[in-house]
Structure 1
Amino acid sequence: MGRGDARGAGDKAIALKLCRNVTLRDFSILNGGHFGILATGVDNLTIDNLKIDTNRDGIDIDACRNVRISNTSVNSPNDDAIVLKASYALGSARPVEALTIVNCLVSGYDIGSLLDGTYKRTVTRAPDRDGPTGRIKIGTETDGDFRNITISNVVFDRSRGLALEAVDGAHIEDIAISNITMRDVSNAPLFIRLGSRQRAPEGAAIGAIRRVSISNLVVYDADPRYASIISGIPGHDVEDVKLSGIRILYRGGLTLDQVAKQPAGIVNTFFFRGQGGIPPREPYATPEREKEYPEPSMFGLLPAYGFFIRHARAIELSSVDVGFMKEDRRPAFVLDDVKGIDFDHVKAQKASGVPSLVMTNVEDLSLDHCPPLADTRLDKVAHKEM
């Protein structure tokens, strides 16, 4: 299909609104504009065997039900590859539900190099100053709910990681994600964020994220600035997240001293709305920023290299292995305001003299078969390093 016109605001190659029983199959899009495909309020939508190589979003699914996306490759270095939204575009909040994404590739190669088969990697930054985007994301527009969604058998290559964001009042629930590989990851491999931006009608309640299962995830060469993140906000926890069969290898090379100093040459301040960048801080005093645009860089450098988990409850990590390619002098896991967390057969590479696990305000923690840490039960702890 044709090229999008960069001069148009919100230009798009294909737009569908309030349609039913639509199938898009067996074609390619090059430079599709702001949206390669924008489907709003579409029910019974099938997208199969497409190749999209584009300058902004690849596929936007907004307030749609019964959607199947399969056997599709989306290259979008400057924006999201496949993004699920539940905006107010139809004048009311409408859920995204009964959706599957299966057997797909998402990537951040140079524009045009997916379709021509060269897979070039010369452009190192997206417009927001982090690395190439090209990911799968739920959010950012999250007025309606998201439920009964599966994502399976997907390759992320030279892209950001998987993002689940509820910041405008949505409930994200009953999500199953499995059989994912990622290489050359330009921010957090996993970003699960409950916030309170509340770009919604006045009086909208803060949303929720719960009943999320992620299994069989393999990540190689992840940006060390961004641990995997599970973060709610004070008084509103991310709930019931199960992680199993996960292996993540980060590039490493950072220290807690750098976390304290937040050096301008490393920290991306694009999504930090304050003036003067990110100030130095006590390394474990990660700012909340509950109303900011959700992106892993919003917190600056994090004190954990593996997982940063805050304002969460009922979290399980089973058969999880994290490590680094270059020595990293930060803990693998940092927990803050977590209630009910189980570690079972979890392994974490560590530098000499650095704790594996740092906890603040943690209740009901269990460790089983997590060498070199002993099996442990903690009812409540204000602060502890292990």
Structure 2
Amino acid sequence: MKNFKIVLVTCVLILLVSCQGNTNTERVFIITDYGAVADGVTDNSLAIKQAVEACVLAGGGKVVIPGEGVFVSGPFDLVSKMELQVEGGATLLANPDTTVYTKSAFRENPGEGTIWIGGVNLHDLAITGLGVIDGNGLKFMGEELGDAYELLPFKVKDPRPHILTLENVHNLRIENVTFRNSAYWTVHLIGCNDAVITGITIDNSLKIRNSDGIDLDHCKNIRISDCYIQSGDDSICLKNRREFKEYGKCENIVITNCLMSSRSCAFKIGSENMDTIQNVTVSNCTILGSNRGIGIQNRDEGVVQNVLFSNIIIESKFFSDVWWGKSEPIYVTAYRRANIDHKDASWRFPEGATEGFVGQVNDITFRNIQCRSENGIYVSAESREKINHILFDGVSVVLNRVTDYEGGVYDRRPCEGEGLVKAKTSAFYIDNATDVQVRDCDIRIGANAPLNMGELIHRTN
């Protein structure tokens, strides 16, 4: 009987601990319980901050934007052991008042936007739901000019908010939620480790400059899958910004099953790279209606190496000179950055330097890729040793004119020297690089041939 009592007490204790654990993980904090109203006008940042604080005091939980309409908010921060859930039917909308955005997205560099939703030095964070996080981007733009909006002038701080800026977060999950209408970058991860981004939609205006989709900055061990990204600037971009140099390399990145469209470059490495970007695989993606498809744009002292692109469809075409790129479905370039008078010029070179140098691009493979474009693949460097061991294996290029732009030009911007380079259109234009192999590739001319056709495969040096 005594043993039975001991077993019974033990079972009860285990059950109580188990129930307590489940209660902790299921604590829910709905922002309307803290005074938030979904009227599309009221700034609810205080209510959201109070819900987040309650989550902290409880030791973690779920902060919910309920499916009840449009909740306007100014800046707020996320915390560890928190899930921000935006329910289906709910929209979290950025406050259009520029004065509420005071924190720079790039630390002491104020010239490249501010932070709306942020978080630093966190762990175990999730952003989920079937709702919408809306950056209210057009409210921060000037006049519509052709295929781009005018950027409003500013003196020191560019007030345009980035939607989500997370720094040094471990164990991060972003899934299913829709981000849209960003005024600047949409999802910026800095120094993050072990993150999964899956099933999200990013739907930005194709006319807003700098409206990147996902930027991985000094990040490690990141998986991106099953996403739809439409953005004026790069859809997915890997980089190592100088402002965050303490986080080191950007490495071990897997990107798969994504659909992308951009007026700049759908998938890009660079141009900011002051460290190393390595061990990257991009596969089973479709790129439609873009200026460029895949780009490696090295402009700083960092190295790019060990990158594999496979099973990808690319459709690219010309846009105006506002956008970097000239319809190159694939481009690999290595040129030192130009020393120009720019709003953030002091952040572009190593500390104390007035000019920079460019690192190498090595061991890059493009396999089983179909390209349909107004321009060809472009590989070019300032000197032969800067680009080494590039393989194009089973790459198909169909050259077909679909716009009224004349063509006959490749884009090296931003670089020291000539940015827009006049040259005949080739399916492969290889200039100043070492060991570039074109193996089992197919080249065709579509119904409307480019106006400035040259050799199908052009090599110099």
Tell me which interval the TM-score lies in, with the shorter structure as reference length.
Answer: 0.5 to 0.7
- Say if 2:365 and 2:392, in contact at 8 Å, map to a contact too: yes
Residue 99, structure 1, aligned to residue 253, structure 2: yes
Corresponding residue number in structure 1 for 2:230: 75
1:183 CA displacement: 2.5
Q: Distance in 1 between matches of 2:459 and 2:293?
A: 21
Q: Given the superposition, is the C-alpha separation of residues 146 and 308 from structure 1 closer, same or farther in structure 2, using an over 3 Å criterion?
A: same
Corresponding residue number in structure 2 for 1:313: 434
1:134 CA displacement: 5.5
Q: Distance in 2 between matches of 1:65 and 1:183?
A: 29
Residue 156, structure 1, aligned to residue 310, structure 2: no
Q: Distance in 2 between matches of 1:236 and 1:52?
A: 38
Corresponding residue number in structure 2 for 1:65: 220
Q: Encode CA deviations 1:147-193: one digit per residue, 9 max, x unaligned.
A: 00000000001112100111111110000110000124441011100
Q: Encode CA deviations 1:226-271: one digit per residue, 9 max, x unaligned.
A: 32111111353310011111111011599xxxxxxxxx97369997
Counterpart of 2:159 in 1: which secondary structure? Answer: coil
Aligned residues: 282
CA-based RMSD:
2.8
Corresponding residue number in structure 2 for 1:4: 135
- Give the TM-score taking structure 2 as reference length: 0.57
- Give the TM-score taking structure 1 as reference length: 0.67
Counterpart of 1:239 in 2: which secondary structure? Answer: strand
- Say if 2:249 and 2:276, in contact at 8 Å, map to a contact too: yes
- Say if 1:302 and 1:308, in contact at 8 Å, map to a contact too: no
Residue 189, structure 1, aligned to residue 329, structure 2: yes
- Say if 1:75 and 1:134, in contact at 8 Å, map to a contact too: no
Q: Distance in 2 between matches of 1:245 and 1:268?
A: 25
Counterpart of 1:174 in 2: which secondary structure? Answer: strand
Corresponding residue number in structure 2 for 1:38: 188
Corresponding residue number in structure 2 for 1:207: 359
Q: Given the superposition, is the C-alpha separation of residues 308 and 93 from structure 1 closer, same or farther in structure 2, using an over 3 Å criterion?
A: farther
Residue 245, structure 1, aligned to residue 377, structure 2: no
Q: Distance in 2 between matches of 1:57 and 1:12?
A: 9
Larger Rg: 2
Which blocks of at least 5 consecutive residues in structure 1 are unaligned? Answer: 109-131, 255-263, 274-288, 338-386
Q: Distance in 1 between matches of 2:365 and 2:434?
A: 14
Corresponding residue number in structure 1 for 2:174: 24
1:331 CA displacement: 1.0
Q: Distance in 1 between matches of 2:251 and 2:194?
A: 11
1:103 CA displacement: 0.6
Q: Distance in 1 between matches of 2:399 and 2:405?
A: 19
Q: Distance in 2 between matches of 1:137 and 1:227?
A: 17
- Say if 1:13 and 1:32, in contact at 8 Å, map to a contact too: yes
2:298 to 166, 170, 183: 166
Corresponding residue number in structure 2 for 1:90: 244
Q: Equivalent pairs: percent with the same residue?
A: 21
Structure showing the higher helix proportion among its residues: 2
Counterpart of 1:57 in 2: which secondary structure? Answer: coil
Which blocks of at least 5 consecutive residues in structure 2 are unaligned? Answer: 1-131, 141-157, 206-210, 319-326, 339-347
Q: Specify the code of the residue in structure 1 equivalent to 2:244.
A: L
